Structure 1
């Protein structure tokens, strides 16, 4: 084998090497090699090269995620020996044309020694002559939805903005074929709550909590993109809200001025739209501030400081000898529908553990919840016991483990009944308990540590007299926290007064701050 052949083989065998040699037109209109990627593009390529069959990226605008996804699939199909097909679906005709233009430019600018013949290259399709592997680019809502070919790979671009997204998704995924080459890549900026992309993000987060290795999810903050900064003019100072935001997220003055100008400048888009297009936390693009039960800005700040945990049982603080703990239990039948959740709070209001299950049956959940209560010094437990619900199973199991249970106190002047009354959720009791929880949460009297719980709290709203999760969110974690806090408030050492000054939550250092490059 000649030296040239060995070099070509080494390029073909190394996706990063091949991709770094592709040429593109950058945001300044200059043609260059793809060898100085943004930090986000490096992390994105790691996700695409993983064994995961589904990759979901929630991103701000213009960070180059689409470019690296197209380059990754171009490399995969270019060296494939089988007639693999990739379907790319974008939200507008202009984006479809731009994506196909990137593919054509990758091919046209390949060195002669690497270039192979193509059988077809038109407005929608690029097909290699020898292997018949190729791409088809389409617009969501256009005719066909990928029919005519069978695909092994899908790139869904800006899914949040697809017209008739559910219908189009069903159509394009029906053309996918399972096998060793299967890969679905979903990239999008947020477009508010409740749409298909939002559902995909929630499903991906749940898959990660369950330890599903077939799914990769990544959220990119705008402040980690190196281009999003602007020289600060003389005399400009951030206001108090901007200053606090900078403290929480570690923003520089240049980043703060870029944000300020993008919101309030001549070409500004306003705060609400900015939050969707340039999120700082995972909920920025999905939050609805109108009618929210809890303080959204405060919870968003808390969310920025939380590291996600996976698994059914998430322990945030080990039990301490002699400490009192309160548990709230929102049971379910654990048959694949609603979650059964147990939340544990310390007497001074720290969220120390969360157990959540929706499979395995109510008895398995009851056993695990009872064991968790026992682990936390036989935590006094408030179990929801609605007629016909799974609460009776949980209560029976807690009795076996000798766990003390919360019961309704007798009315003033009456003795405690020999038949204890457990918690039942009515519109009145839920309103009262959620009002108390709101006072504690908004007053910074609780230390919240569980990402799923905080996300659910952000989407609790009152509609038609009902307090419940909206926008596609469950409210089981929020309800269990409500029960735990109602239970905790009766403890002798419970802290019930809101903080005079709110704690400052500081986000964990983000690894994107390290400048990474493809080799």
Structure 2
């Protein structure tokens, strides 16, 4: 049993079932099994208005299994859920919270919904659980204000409350529209519902205060769930969890995992080409596809992209752009899925001037440098803001344009310059082009004055590549052509991911709100510089020959040869 049953319940059960030990054992078995507890003890109102036992569907079971897996592993439970609409995750999360809070002592639960109406609905769900639960496990409850269930002795007499205090647990439901959330109490069980739809100006502040108040002890529960709503804070949290950069376990639930999402197939039903692809890819049946067709037509204004946001099949489907996408995202996904080379991770040790294998290194290498081949190394620099873009760089082969390495991270400008120096030298002294906008001048200063890199790209007597009103449209045009026509071998999945969030905003191609385009511009610089790289390599070759001849002349003059 993963919970410690409160004294109030133990005393009541022993008193009422003293002469029926088999019933006491049965009750203990129910309380030890959450799914049994739901079916035997909790009631819900169905969409049709009936009152029924809470029976978990397959998606809910998957979620519950993960919750108890983390509890049994001695961990604080942290889960983030991306889902299709109306799959019952609020129902099962509230059931979990009621289970933990109404059966144990001194537990605080906190639930936040996106609006006042939504918070009222969740509070009503808790009230209904409490009203319909069997008396033998119904805790004492005092009269509550607003949206709070407080499980404690309601008696007025202090002596009685001291003798039999009750659970001293509570469930609080609030709205994200509130000015302040969770400033004092420790939260043991947290449910942040439909986070993507919380007020934009309050979302980040509320999440920070809630997570700061959430207990870090084993068995505590933090669930963040939502359908998608474009590129915002929930998307960032989801991406962070998927990358393994937080302790939240990401769980995705596609629309077709909901057993109710199906409709009878009419006569003459024929699948479209897109539907045939979906059927083959996800193993769907015609009733599910008929439900999808009906929902697109009647609930989504005939827009399949809107359906993908509300009822995604994959996580990438969920996050619609706030503007018009530059690329066809299904095409980009197909390119990303078809990547043929898996890179190996490395660290750049600029002190020892070495490239070292490292499982979590910042450098991904797809092709090692080969003798006689020439390479272009292009680098985009961060904007100097804490939440701005990253430093990003790509190595491509000069002749074929094949991608050979990708560098990504955030560093001080001098450290970034030193890493680029080591990387450029490793790739046969690559032609190194650094964007000189923003912090690029400082990076170039390190490369020229500290590292003395021998082959820096220049334009009009200035080191580096300048992205401006004249060069930017050309860069984007050539980049779009390279992606659309698959002109070169690209192995970086994150570059394709950035393509999926590149939008046309008032005629200007840029990353959607909350997204990044650092990889896109690093690769675009590489494509531009590659077009003129030949003359730079010829110049560098002549320069090396002249230096060698000068050295030979000097050696001959002093009599060393």
Both proteins in one fold, TM over 0.5:
yes
Q: What is the 5 A alignment of 1:270-309? A: 270-271=302-303, 272-288=305-321, 290-302=323-335
Shift, 1:10, TM fit: 6.5
Sort the Cα spacing of 1:424 and 1:135 in 2 relative to 1 into closer, same or farther, 3 A: same
Could you tell which deviates more after superposition, 70-79 or 140-149?
140-149
Richer in helix (by share): 2
Q: Secondary structure at the match of 1:127?
A: strand
Write the deviation string for residues 361-405 of structure 1: whole angstroms up to 9, x where unpaired.
234444445555566676554322337534315634996787x65
391-400 vs 223-232, which moves further:
391-400
- How far the C-alpha of 1:257 sits from its partner, in A, is 2.9
Task: Write the distance in 1 (CA, Å) between the matches of 2:383 and 2:509.
Answer: 22
Q: Out of 32, 40, 65, which is 2:89 matched to?
A: 65
Partner of 2:526: 484
Matches of 2:263 and 2:53 in 1, distance apart? 26
Q: Distance in 1 between matches of 2:406 and 2:474?
A: 23
Alignment of 1:341-360 (within 5 A): 341-345=392-396, 353-358=405-410, 360=411
Match of 2:80 in 1: 56
Match of 2:444 among 377, 380, 392: 392
Question: How far off is 1:475 after superposition?
Answer: 1.8
Give the superposition deviation at 1:462: 4.5
Q: Check 1:59–1:387 CA distance in 2 against 1; reply closer, same or farther (3 A cut).
A: closer
**Does the Cα contact within 8 Å between 1:138 and 1:146 map onto a contact in 2?**
no
The runs of 5 or more residues in structure 2 that have no matched partner are 1-13, 15-20, 153-165, 346-358, 535-561
Map 1:31-46 to 2 at 5 A. 33-34=53-54, 36-39=56-59, 41-43=61-63, 46=66
1:236 Cα deviation from its structure 2 partner: 2.5
Flag the 1:3–1:121 CA change in 2: closer, same or farther, 3 A: farther
Change (3 A) 1:482 1:41: farther
SS in 2 for 1:119: coil
Q: Distance in 2 between matches of 1:320 and 1:114?
A: 70
- Aligned with 2:62: secondary structure? helix
Unaligned runs of 5+ in 1: 411-418, 493-519
Matched positions, count: 473
- 2:111 corresponds in structure 1 to 88
Q: Secondary structure at the match of 1:427?
A: coil
Bigger CA radius of gyration:
2
CA distance in 1, matches of 2:25, 2:126: 26
Pick closer, same or farther for the CA change 1:32–1:320 going to 2, 3 Å: farther
Q: Distance in 2 between matches of 1:466 and 1:433?
A: 12
CA distance in 2, matches of 1:154, 1:393: 50
- What does residue range 107-146 of structure 1 map to in structure 2 within 5 Å? 107-120=130-143, 124-129=147-152, 130-141=166-177
3-state SS, counterpart of residue 468 of structure 1: strand
SS of the residue aligned with 2:250?
A: strand
Deviations 1:78-128 (A, max 9, x none): 34432x322222234443343223323434444555443333467722222
Q: Does 1:214 align with 2:247?
A: yes
Q: CA deviation at 1:423?
A: 1.5
Structure 2 length as normaliser, TM-score? Answer: 0.69
Structure 1 Cα separation of the partners of residues 172 and 387 of structure 2: 37
TM-score (norm 1): 0.73
Structure 1 166/46 Cα, relative in aligned 2: closer, same or farther at 3 Å?
farther
Distance 1:312 1:423 in 2: 27
Instruction: Give the aligned partner of residue 495 of structure 1.
Output: none
Superposed, 1:12-411 pairs within 5 Å as 18=37, 22-25=41-44, 26-27=46-47, 33-34=53-54, 36-39=56-59, 41-43=61-63, 46=66, 50=70, 51=75, 55-82=79-106, 84-120=107-143, 124-129=147-152, 130-141=166-177, 151-162=187-198, 164-167=199-202, 170=205, 174=209, 177-180=213-216, 183-193=221-231, 198-206=232-240, 208-209=242-243, 211-244=244-277, 251-264=284-297, 266=298, 269-271=301-303, 272-288=305-321, 290-302=323-335, 313=362, 315=364, 317=366, 319=368, 326-332=376-382, 336-338=386-388, 339-345=390-396, 353-358=405-410, 360-371=411-422, 380-386=431-437, 389=440, 390-392=442-444, 395-396=447-448, 406-407=457-458
